[in-house]
Amino acid sequence: MTVDNGQLKITIRAIEPQDYLAVGLLWNQLGNRWVTAENIGPHCEREQANEDYMTFVALLDGQVVGLVSTVKCFSPGFDVGYMHIRGLAVTETLRSQGIGAQLLDYTENYASALGVHSIILNTGVQRTEAHKFYKRQGYDNHSWCFSKSL
């Protein structure tokens, strides 16, 4: 799908093997320093083997400039469940130009086509600009996410 948001002509498509390194760098922008050039490929291959996982990339002039990674989850009382956005990132120098919004819109259309009833996502408490972005896109923050490293 090609999107012209008035400023940049973006193409959004499913991840392909040639995208893995660029996707790994975007994951690192989110603070995931454990993602390396050595482990991103095997990770992406595992995800592609499971139809519940999907990663889409945004391309500008053929270069990966954004990603959204999702997993379809089961939910009691619903046949399909909900979509969890595991990560959304845009190259730092291209933020605030509509790429993230187009990735979210694409994800919402994808989830809707699957019959998913809602989308959830987590973002770090320190990422205040991301919080503002998600609110502008119509997302509510009505819960807390807790985690524990083991």
For the segment 19-57, what is each residue's pLDDT rounded down to a tens digit? 988 988 888 887 777 777 788 888 888 888 999 999 999
Identify the pLDDT of residue 67. Answer: 94
For the segment 53-109, what is each residue's pLDDT rounded down to a tens digit? 999 999 999 999 999 999 998 878 777 789 999 989 999 898 888 898 899 999 999
- The span from the CA of 55 to the CA of 69, in Å, is 4
Residue in 106, 117, 55 with CA at minimum distance from that of residue 80: 117
Contact 44, 15 (CB under 8 A): yes
Is the model's pLDDT at 1 over the cut of 70? no
Mention the CATH class of domain 2-136. Answer: alpha beta
Identify the pLDDT of residue 123. Answer: 79
**Domain boundaries of the chain, sorted by first residue:** 2-136
What are the Cα distances from residue 113, in Å, to 47, 55, 61, 83, 125? 20, 16, 28, 12, 31
